[in-house]
Chain A
Amino acid sequence: MSQLFEFSDDREASSAARVRALEALLIEKGVIATDSVDVVLKHFETMAGPFNGAKIVARAWVDPDYARRLVEDTPKAIAELSLPLGMTGAEGEHMAAVANDANVHNLIICTLCSCYPWPVLGLPPYWYKDPVFRARGVREPRAVLQEFGVQVPATKEVKVWDSSAQIRWFVVPERPANTEHLSEEELAALVTPESMMGVALVEAPAA
């Protein structure tokens, strides 16, 4: 069928029309249901993703007791929050949080494969699986962090956590200064996936 697929000038419109026709026919023939597409995408859009991690981090920022529990027993602490069903079990049960503070900056990598805490961070960026990032993350984490724009003072220790099928790490970044007036929800909006990997700091919103 490859010869049927010519490149036309109105490519976007053609592709959109073809996808509509394909979906309509599959529904008409009963191969899929009318809501099948939305059901599978819901997983990435509302169930598993960095929005879960951001909620966890924001709770840790406003509640020091929660922050302590999160590091001590990550799955149990995550289960305290009302995250979408399934986000605390299965893939999530092997997750472990490490917290940045005045003395320590944490960086997560994976030297084996693409082990990654999906339920809280979503899909890893393309460079996470890059062998160079993984190798240099272990060998010279400070240089790698500097390239990401994160200057870690010499007085601060850098800890590198290697994720595996057994444990998938994520970072609780430091709460930025001058955010005392923000609500938990507003704080969550500041948290990026990169900050929960340790390759970025969380910035306060511009005044």
Chain B
Amino acid sequence: MFTRFEEYAAASMLGAPDSPPRLDGKLLFTNRWERDVFGLALSLSKAGCFEWEDFRQSLIASIAKWEAIECAKQPRWDYYERFLEALLNVVETSGVLSRREIEAIVAARSR
């Protein structure tokens, strides 16, 4: 029973396969984009774009996909890369953005 969406969202992930990295009681972000993508997922669900549980299931599936890759071919583990993939999936399936819009985002390159 959490009265704040932020706490409900974070608490639901703790001790589960999609548990986010944290240190000293705080979320651990090693890059700015990791903080931003975490905040985007929370903001969108808080705004009612999708259920937080739907995002979590997408994240768990994205993590499972990485785990299923043969060890020798497995890219370095990157929690927030899985997180971004899961968010793009749920943003598309929930109809927030179209497939074409998602494709443009995936094609985005660093400036």
Contact = CB atoms under 8 A, between A and B. Distances in A.
Interface of A: 1-2, 4-5, 7, 10-23, 25-26, 29, 31-32, 36-41, 43-45, 48-50, 86, 90-91, 114, 118, 121-126, 128-130, 165, 192-193
A123 B108 contact: no
- Chain B, interface SS category: helix
Given A114-B11, A122-B24, 16 more contacts: A1-B99, A1-B102, A12-B33, A15-B81, A17-B109, A19-B84, A20-B36, A22-B105, A26-B40, A32-B47, A40-B42, A50-B24, A50-B26, A121-B25, A126-B19, A193-B24
Interface in B61-111: 65, 75, 78, 80-81, 84-85, 87-89, 91-92, 96-97, 99, 101-106, 108-111
B85 A2 contact: yes
A130 B15 CA distance: 7
Contacts, number: 157
Size class of the B contact interface (CB-based, 8 Å): 35 or more
Contacts of B25: 49-50, 121-125, 193
Interface in B1-38: 1-4, 6-7, 10-11, 14-15, 19, 22, 24-27, 31-33, 35-38
Nearest to B76: A11
Contacts of B46: 40
A129 B44 contact: no
Given A18-B84, A40-B39, A12 B89 contact: no
Contacts of A40: 6, 39, 42-43, 46
A125 B20 CA distance: 10
A23 B36 contact: yes
- Chain A, interface SS category: helix
A86 B33 contact: no
B75 A22 contact: no
Interface of B: 1-4, 6-7, 10-11, 14-15, 19, 22, 24-27, 31-33, 35-40, 42-44, 46-47, 49, 65, 75, 78, 80-81, 84-85, 87-89, 91-92, 96-97, 99, 101-106, 108-111
Contact of A43 (B7, B14, B88): B7
Given A1-B88, A31-B96, A124-B14, A22 B40 contact: yes
A175 B36 CA distance: 38
B11 A31 contact: no
Contacts of A37: 35-36, 39-40, 43
A15 B33 contact: yes
Contacts of A36: 39-40, 43, 47
A35 to B, nearest CB: 10
Nearest to B99: A1
B40 A91 contact: no
A19 B44 contact: no
Which 8 pairs show the lowest CB-CB distances between chains A and B? Answer: A122-B25, A37-B39, A129-B15, A50-B25, A21-B108, A13-B110, A36-B43, A16-B33
